[in-house]
Amino acid sequence: MKAILFFVLLLSSHLALAANPNIIIDTNKGKMTLELYPDKAPITVANFKRYIKQDQFQGTIFHRVINNFMIQGGGFLSSGQRASTFPPIQNESVNGLSNARGTISMARTNDPHSATRQFFINQKDNDFLNARGTQWGYTVFGKVTSGMEVIDAIANVPKKADKPLQDIIINSITLVE
């Protein structure tokens, strides 16, 4: 009986350790909660958590918003000034995750290993952003668990080109572990 109890305790403590971290993104348009996947994108999640723990997202904006595609933010202040970054990270797009509606991915330049702090949330399935063969994709590292209506509302704000006419401000991103 003691052996069974020990096994149950061991298993439950392992499951508690294996729980994925969650984040809450609080914007001037509402809040959204996302689950991060460190088992699928460990470098990306560690990098993102580093920015969160240093409160680096506070006051940044969703600067690129394309309805029926995605909302992108985290890299610019409302003044238009680019936020400082840590060094770029290794692309982890070959991780079995797809750029589906509600997933969060790292933004990057044409250099597949150039992601720093900018991220985007897919408003629809964007399979063309996935890795294919030898072509790098955009690293998915989590998924919205609540607040998709906030993303849809942000995607529908008035904008000029892809920039919202009124700032969509990230008040904070909080890590819930």
Rg (CA), the chain: 17
Structural domain boundaries in the chain: 20-176
Q: What is the per-residue pLDDT across 105-132, written as a single tens digit (0 to 9) for each?
A: 999 999 999 999 999 999 999 999 999 9
pTM of the model: 0.89
CA gap 147, 136 in Å, rounded? 29
Q: What is the pLDDT along the chain (177 residues), one digit of tens a residue?
A: 454 434 444 444 445 456 999 999 999 999 999 999 999 999 999 999 999 999 999 999 999 999 999 999 999 999 999 999 999 999 999 999 999 999 999 999 999 999 999 999 999 999 999 999 999 999 999 999 999 999 999 999 999 999 999 999 999 999 997
Tokens 């933004």 found at: 107
Q: What is the per-residue pLDDT across 62-83, written as a single tens digit (0 to 9) for each?
A: 999 999 999 999 999 999 999 9
CA gap 21, 127 in Å, rounded? 25
Region class of 105: left (phi > 0), else alpha (psi between -120 and 50), else beta: beta
Comparing C-alpha atoms, which of 177, 176, 173 is closest to residue 51?
A: 173
CA gap 148, 119 in Å, rounded? 16
Cα separation values, 38 from 17, 25, 73, Å: 12, 18, 21
Q: What dotted CATH number matches 20-176?
A: 2.40.100.10
